[in-house]
């Protein structure tokens, strides 16, 4: 995951890193793939104050279509402003909606009471029973035959501002929630919502933030603040890297001996999961193995991997020992219940036994066990592949869709990686790492964590530099999985690259305070959210986007 680089690793050529990626066909056409019913999409027009060199306000969608607003009171209002930007806005003439002392939030469907209460609290108004009237905001679910899924898919929504009332209808509760974010952000920026209709939906189903809480302690309150921020940005996944060589940061009942201080209690985790759920965010636990287990091995030195010379590579568990698998499976099962979401991450990266020139010679015990289990041609990588297959099977048995790091997926070998997992692709710089297309051609779905753009590594070791929101906003798309170039167009859609995450890693934990991290990731996280929602080249300049983030915050 971009931490323990071998000497063979190196940062991509600096000049190449600064060259804009070729977006090829990843314009609006790519953004539309897989979004049934979402047609005529446009980004909303910029309504900021301008700024930057040569920045200009971008006309609204209706203006671009030649429908110039008339003068006088019966005019077209401003386009909605939200981060990420809405993808279709059709303005009509009329007064629009404004918050008044008579405004109420109406939940027309029982499942939307939580969304209604949250919005009402944010607007400082009351939740009430219908029917809705002028000044109200009504939340509803799509009914069968009602124009299909509004905006396309369960996370799509339609927001109609008409006759002084707003109605938000979603394919699912998540879609309605995202519609409330658009309403709230536009209200913050403009004090109103113009007359017209928004149809909106995300391009990618997985849109997230990954946080290393093992090497740097982040408090429960800090994590909750990021969840609220993520909700407003319409992000829907929070990956927590729970364990590493430095610490194991969550209370454990099955193995309390491995837990570090400070750590999150299970009560705190449940609060985090509950808050995330209220924002339609899935919390994904990551217990990385067979590497990055230093904190666990400190309490279980008998499971530490040893080389022929007696060396003990940091964080590497001895995968030839059944007790090692039992220990890790205990943790996977325990935390599968604590984190009830669909996904769990099994790690698989940077196993030190495979980062030597000759693993079979350096670790003869692993090589012997591989041959014993899988035949005379088996090698250490086969034992590692089988280890990860077994861990992902444990997760599947407990209802999880497993995810693993791409460098845990080894080419060739006697033992093959199982198919029912998703590949979190973070690096192409480790020796021997494969191009993203190899995984896509092999039938695996890919989650994009491209370390060239999306890795915020504390202290900037190993030639990492803090990523900028501008570079993400102007040059990255979900199809840019490795380096700066996109994958071939046939692999670029949401069915193959299912999403992405911006990641914070605590390599040099004291390099920044948690407050500095929060400030440092604010714009990169917003830019990532924008490009996962709509990969098309943005209409707004970067400087206008920054002003927009400030307006809607």
Q: What does the pLDDT look like over 184-213, one tens digit per residue?
A: 999 999 999 999 999 999 999 999 999 999
| DSSP line for 268-330 | HHHHHHHHHHHTT-EEEEEEEESSS-HHHHHH-GGGB---TT----TT-B-TTSHHHHHHHHH
Q: Lowest mean pLDDT: which of 286-295, 368-377, 388-397, 421-430? A: 421-430
| pLDDT band, very low/low/confident/very high, at 4 (cuts 50, 70, 90) | very low
Place of tokens 């060199």: 53
Rounded-to-integer distance, Cα 32 and Cα 145, Å: 22
The predicted structure's pLDDT at residue 432: 65
Strand 89-91 and strand 196-200: pairing? Answer: antiparallel
Q: How many helices (H) and strands (E) does the chain have?
A: 16, 16
- For residue 53, pLDDT over 60 is answered with no
| pLDDT band, very low/low/confident/very high, at 30 (cuts 50, 70, 90) | very low
Residue in 320, 272, 323 with CA at minimum distance from that of residue 296: 323
Are 440 and 422 contacting, i.e. CB atoms less than 8 angstroms apart?
no
Place of tokens 């396309």: 152
The predicted structure's pLDDT at residue 146: 42
Find the Cα–Cα–Cα–Cα dihedral 334, 211, 540, 489, rounded to 10°. -60
The predicted structure's pLDDT at residue 212: 98
Residue 445: strand pairing partners = 422
Share of the chain above pLDDT 70, in %: 85
The predicted structure's pLDDT at residue 31: 37
Are 19 and 473 contacting, i.e. CB atoms less than 8 angstroms apart?
no
Q: Which residues contact 362 (CB under 8 A, 6 or more apart)?
A: 307, 308, 353, 356
Greatest C-alpha distance within the chain: 85
- For residue 18, pLDDT over 50 is answered with no
- For residue 147, pLDDT over 60 is answered with no
- For residue 36, pLDDT over 70 is answered with no
**Tens digits of residue pLDDT in 64-104:** 333 344 445 557 999 999 999 999 999 999 999 999 999 99
Per residue in 99-128, is it b (16+ CB within 10 Å) or e — as a string?
beeebbbbbbbeebeebbebbbebbebebb
Mean pLDDT of 457-477: 97
The predicted structure's pLDDT at residue 144: 57
Are 151 and 171 contacting, i.e. CB atoms less than 8 angstroms apart?
yes
Rounded-to-integer distance, Cα 141 and Cα 182, Å: 17
Are 174 and 76 contacting, i.e. CB atoms less than 8 angstroms apart?
no
Mean pLDDT of 145-150: 43
Rounded-to-integer distance, Cα 448 and Cα 203, Å: 14
* Dihedral of alpha carbons 456, 459, 460, 461, sign: negative
| pLDDT band, very low/low/confident/very high, at 1 (cuts 50, 70, 90) | low
The predicted structure's pLDDT at residue 74: 56
- For residue 370, pLDDT over 50 is answered with yes
Task: Name the E strands within 142-299.
Answer: 157-162, 165-170, 196-200, 206-212, 237-241, 282-289
The predicted structure's pLDDT at residue 75: 75
Q: How far is CA 491 from CA 37, 299, 385, 476, in A?
A: 22, 44, 25, 16
Residue in 235, 177, 191 with CA at minimum distance from that of residue 211: 235
The predicted structure's pLDDT at residue 151: 54
Q: Lowest mean pLDDT: which of 37-41, 44-48, 147-151? A: 44-48
Are 348 and 388 contacting, i.e. CB atoms less than 8 angstroms apart?
yes
- For residue 495, pLDDT over 90 is answered with yes
The predicted structure's pLDDT at residue 130: 86
Q: Which residue has the higher pLDDT, 13 or 326?
A: 326
| pLDDT band, very low/low/confident/very high, at 279 (cuts 50, 70, 90) | very high
- For residue 21, pLDDT over 90 is answered with no
The predicted structure's pLDDT at residue 376: 97
**Tens digits of residue pLDDT in 326-359:** 999 999 999 999 999 999 999 999 999 999 999 9
Kindly state the helix (H) or strand (E) to which residue 470 belongs, with its residue range. helix 469-475
| pLDDT band, very low/low/confident/very high, at 48 (cuts 50, 70, 90) | very low
Rounded-to-integer distance, Cα 110 and Cα 308, Å: 64
- The structure tokens listed for 199 are 């149809």
**Tens digits of residue pLDDT in 407-456:** 999 989 999 999 999 999 998 776 667 899 999 999 999 999 999 999 99
- For residue 514, pLDDT over 70 is answered with yes
Rounded-to-integer distance, Cα 409 and Cα 418, Å: 10
Length of the chain: 553
φ and ψ at 393, to 5 degrees?
A: -65, -40
Mean pLDDT of 11-28: 35
């Amino acid at each position: 995951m971009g931490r323990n680089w071998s000497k063979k690793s190196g940062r991509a050529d600096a000049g190449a890193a600064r060259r804009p990626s070729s977006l090829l066909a990843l314009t609006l056409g790519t953004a539309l793939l897989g979004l049934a019913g979402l047609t005529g999409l446009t980004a909303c027009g910029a309504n900021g104050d301008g700024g930057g060199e040569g920045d200009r306000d971008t006309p609204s969608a209706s203006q671009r279509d030649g429908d110039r607003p008339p003068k006088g009171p019966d005019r077209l209002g401003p386009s909605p402003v939200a981060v990420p930007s809405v993808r279709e806005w059709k303005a009509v003439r009329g007064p629009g909606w404004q918050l008044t002392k008579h405004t109420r939030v109406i939940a027309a469907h029982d499942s939307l009471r939580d969304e209604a209460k949250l919005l009402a609290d944010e607007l400082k108004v009351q939740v009430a029973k219908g029917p809705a009237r002028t000044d109200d905001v009504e939340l509803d679910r799509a009914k069968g035959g009602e124009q299909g899924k509004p905006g396309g898919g369960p996370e799509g929504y339609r927001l109609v501002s008409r006759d002084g009332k707003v109605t938000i209808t979603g394919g699912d509760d998540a879609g309605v929630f995202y519609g409330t974010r658009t309403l709230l952000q536009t209200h913050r920026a403009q004090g109103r919502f113009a007359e017209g209709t928004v149809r909106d939906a995300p391009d990618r189903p997985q849109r997230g933030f990954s946080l290393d809480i093992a090497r740097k302690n982040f408090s429960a309150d800090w994590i909750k603040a990021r969840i609220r921020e993520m909700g407003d940005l319409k992000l829907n996944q929070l990956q927590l890297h729970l364990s590493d060589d430095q610490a194991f940061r969550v209370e454990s009942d099955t193995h309390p001996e491995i837990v570090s201080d400070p750590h999150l209690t299970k009560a705190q985790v449940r609060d985090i999961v509950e808050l995330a759920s209220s924002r339609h965010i899935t919390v994904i636990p990551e217990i990385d193995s067979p590497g990055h287990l230093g904190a666990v091995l400190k309490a279980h030195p008998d499971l530490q991997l040893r080389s022929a010379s007696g060396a003990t590579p940091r964080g590497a568990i001895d995968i030839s020992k059944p007790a090692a698998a039992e220990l890790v499976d205990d943790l996977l099962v325990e935390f599968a219940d604590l984190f009830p979401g669909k996904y769990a991450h099994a790690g698989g990266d940077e196993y030190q036994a495979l980062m030597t020139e000759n693993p079979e010679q350096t670790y003869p015990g692993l090589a012997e066990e591989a041959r014993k289990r899988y035949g005379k041609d088996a090698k250490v990588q086969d034992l590692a592949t089988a280890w990860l297959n077994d861990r992902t099977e444990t997760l599947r048995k407990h209802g999880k869709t497993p995810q693993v790091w791409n460098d845990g997926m080894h080419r060739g070998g006697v033992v093959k990686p199982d198919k029912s997992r998703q590949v979190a692709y973070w690096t192409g710089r480790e020796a021997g790492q494969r191009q993203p297309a190899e995984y896509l051609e092999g039938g695996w779905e890919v989650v994009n964590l491209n370390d060239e753009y999306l890795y915020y590594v504390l202290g900037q070791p190993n030639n990492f530099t803090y990523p900028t929101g501008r570079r993400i906003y102007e040059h990255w798309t979900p199809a840019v999985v490795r380096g700066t170039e996109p994958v071939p167009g046939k692999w670029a859609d949401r069915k193959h690259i299912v999403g992405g995450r911006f990641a914070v890693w605590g390599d040099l934990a004291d390099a920044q305070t948690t407050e500095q991290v929060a400030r440092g990731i604010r714009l990169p996280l917003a830019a990532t959210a924008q490009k996962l929602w709509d990969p098309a080249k943005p209409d707004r300049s970067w400087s206008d986007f920054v002003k927009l983030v400030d307006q809607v915050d």
